[in-house]
């Protein structure tokens, strides 16, 4: 890469538009890398050194990035400063589920600073969910406004969300239909709100910060309290389908003798592979993903093992279909699907090593989503950060 700037980057007379575009490029690189040296920024953007220094300076003034001295050990000459996301520029992330509402404060760079799980004794209505979120956020407001700056709120919804206005068209397990969730939350909190499908946001988070960071083709499958969602990255692009609803692996047929699903089908993956019996066998009534996993892995009960194997057998059917159809490098499992795999990895590996077509299964690996129980919080925050990453000068 040369030190000459592209014509679009302009020189001393760069227009406001070009400067804003370059600010967005630099901030996005800093956010995704979670820390990058100024010399690397110069190399990657193709901008000259003084331009990068000025852009970083403006982002520091806007309190979106920090510059810290590089570790000087083993370096010859003056080391290039490291530019890091300012963790005090935050988004509030929300994930409503059938048994709890989780709310987190997430710093730029995808760092979860605080996470609160508010357990509910029934599926919350959209209005109840908004009221709970508003109360929790009100409790945090003093602390947030004293030392942080809130970009906005991102919501990961277990259902179909219209991206245009954040209306939840259908969240079947919550019983929500056409709920203007983003609008209600914005009104209740005063912050801008963006909402999206939970599994799509999980895929985005894993692709940006997690186990999918270096993968061009992967399938992500998440098991949550209200079913199984998924997403896929194909050729480094999120594959969304014509209306954004691609990746509904939870409704692929795995058992033609199975249970009737709310979607109208029979024996869907999400009717045969479910969290509730795992909780019951582990003797838990209410647990987050980490607690359930610890209990399952520690269990020596034959009933737990049998149920885990039964569920993995059905999961393998869905994976066979997905591998034959989509030819991924890797399958990433999140939520309780990752926990099922943690209990009996050899069982699932053996099924995936034999069931798909030989050519398709060659080289396919199964992995855990890397972001653990923070995954949806990071994904939801990514939604809220989009506007500031697109135009840092507006913030």
Q: Which residues bind Zn ion (CB under 5 A)?
A: 251, 261, 263, 265, 268
Q: In whole angstroms, how far apart are CA 304 and each of 3, 165, 212, 226, 344?
A: 61, 43, 30, 20, 11
CB 90 within 8 A of CB 395: no
CB of 369 to Zn ion, least distance (A): 22
Between residues 229 and 335, which has the closer beta carbon with respect to Zn ion?
A: 229
**Residue 276 C-beta: closest distance to Zn ion, Å:** 16
Q: Output the smallest distance, CB 261 to Zn ion, in A.
A: 3
Which of 352-355's residues contact partners 24+ apart within 8 Å by CB, and which partners?
A: 352/316, 352/319, 352/320, 352/323, 355/316, 355/317, 355/319, 355/320
Render the burial of 316-329: b for 16+ CB within 10 Å, e for the rest.
bbbbbbbbeeebbb
Run of H or E including 366 = strand 365-368
Cβ-based nearer residue to Zn ion, 195 or 268: 268
Nearer to Zn ion (CB atom), residue 70 or residue 266: 266
Tokens of 183: 């609008």
Q: Which is closer to Zn ion, CB of 207 or CB of 222?
A: 222
- In whole angstroms, the minimum distance from the beta carbon of 211 to Zn ion comes to 27
Rounded CA separation 70/82 (Å): 6
Cβ closer to Zn ion: 89 or 157? 157
Q: Least distance from C-beta 318 to Zn ion, angstroms?
A: 12
Q: How far is the CB of 279 from Zn ion (least distance, A)?
A: 21
Output the CA torsion 313→315→321→326 (10° steps).
-140
CB nearer Zn ion, residue 189 or residue 311:
311
Largest CA distance in the chain: 72
126 or 269: CB nearest Zn ion: 269
Instruction: Name the phi and psi angles at 23, rounded to 5.
Output: -60, -45
As measured in angstroms, the least distance from the Cβ of 2 to Zn ion is 54
Residue 267 CB, shortest distance to Zn ion, in Å, is: 9
Residue placing its CB nearer to Zn ion in the complex, 233 or 268:
268
Are the C-beta atoms of 219 and 166 separated by less than 8 Å? no
DSSP 199-259: HHHHHHHHHHHSTTTT-SSEEEEEEETTEEEEEEEETTEE---SSS----GGGSBS-TTSP
């Amino acid at each position: 890469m040369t030190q000459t700037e592209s014509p679009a980057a302009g020189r001393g007379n760069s227009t406001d538009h070009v400067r804003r575009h370059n600010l967005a490029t630099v901030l996005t690189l800093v956010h995704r890398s979670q820390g990058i040296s100024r010399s690397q920024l110069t190399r990657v953007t193709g901008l000259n050194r003084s331009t990068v220094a000025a852009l970083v300076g403006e982002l520091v003034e806007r309190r979106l990035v920090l510059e810290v001295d590089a570790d000087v050990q083993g370096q010859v000459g003056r080391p290039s400063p490291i530019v890091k996301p300012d963790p005090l520029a935050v988004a509030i992330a929300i994930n409503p589920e059938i048994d709890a509402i989780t709310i987190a404060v997430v710093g730029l760079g995808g760092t979860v600073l605080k996470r609160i799980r508010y357990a509910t004794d029934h599926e919350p209505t959209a209005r109840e969910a908004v009221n709970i979120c508003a109360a929790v956020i009100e409790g945090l407001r003093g602390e947030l406004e004293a030392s942080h700056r809130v970009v906005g709120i991102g919501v990961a919804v277990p259902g179909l969300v219209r991206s245009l206005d954040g209306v939840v068209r259908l969240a079947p397990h919550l019983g929500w239909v056409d709920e203007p969730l983003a609008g209600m939350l914005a009104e209740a909190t005063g912050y801008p709100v963006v909402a999206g499908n939970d599994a799509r946001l999980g895929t985005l988070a894993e692709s940006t910060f997690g186990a999918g960071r270096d993968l061009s083709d992967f399938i992500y499958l998440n098991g949550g309290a209200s079913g199984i969602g998924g997403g896929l990255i194909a050729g480094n692009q999120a594959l969304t389908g014509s209306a954004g609803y691609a990746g509904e692996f939870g409704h692929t047929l795995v058992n033609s003798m199975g249970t009737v699903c709310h979607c109208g089908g029979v024996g869907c993956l999400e009717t045969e592979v479910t969290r509730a019996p795992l909780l019951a066998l582990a003797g838990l009534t209410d647990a987050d993903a980490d607690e359930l996993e610890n209990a399952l892995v520690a269990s020596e009960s034959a009933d737990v093992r049998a149920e885990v194997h039964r569920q993995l057998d059905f999961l393998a059917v869905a994976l066979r279909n997905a591998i034959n159809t989509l030819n991924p490098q890797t399958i990433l499992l999140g939520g309780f699907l990752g926990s099922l795999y943690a209990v009996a990895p050899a069982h699932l590996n053996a099924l995936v090593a034999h069931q798909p077509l030989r050519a398709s299964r060659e080289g396919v690996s199964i992995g855990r989503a890397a972001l653990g129980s923070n995954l949806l919080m990071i994904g939801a925050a990514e939604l809220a950060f989009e506007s500031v990453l697109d135009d840092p000068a507006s913030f």
